[in-house]
Structure 1
Amino acid sequence: MEDRDPQLGQRLEKAIMSLLERRGDTASICPSDAARTVYEGDDDGWRALMEPARRAAWRLVNDGEVEVTQGGRPVEEAQARGPVRIRRARR
Structure 2
Amino acid sequence: MADEAAIEKTMLDLVAERGPGKTCCPSEVARALGGPHPDGWGPLMQPVRRVAVRLTKEGRIAILRKGKPVADPEDFRGIYRLGLPSLTETSRGGRAG
TM-score by length of 2: 0.79
Determine the structure 2 residue equivalent to 1:84. Answer: 80
Identity over aligned pairs, percent: 33
Of residues 61, 69, 74, the one that matches 1:66 is 61
Determine the structure 1 residue equivalent to 2:16. Answer: 21
Q: Give 1 or 2 for the bigger CA radius of gyration.
A: 2
How far did 1:31 drift? 0.9
Of residues 13, 23, 46, the one that matches 1:51 is 46
Corresponding residue pairs, total: 85
Cα RMSD after superposing both structures: 1.5
TM-score by length of 1: 0.83
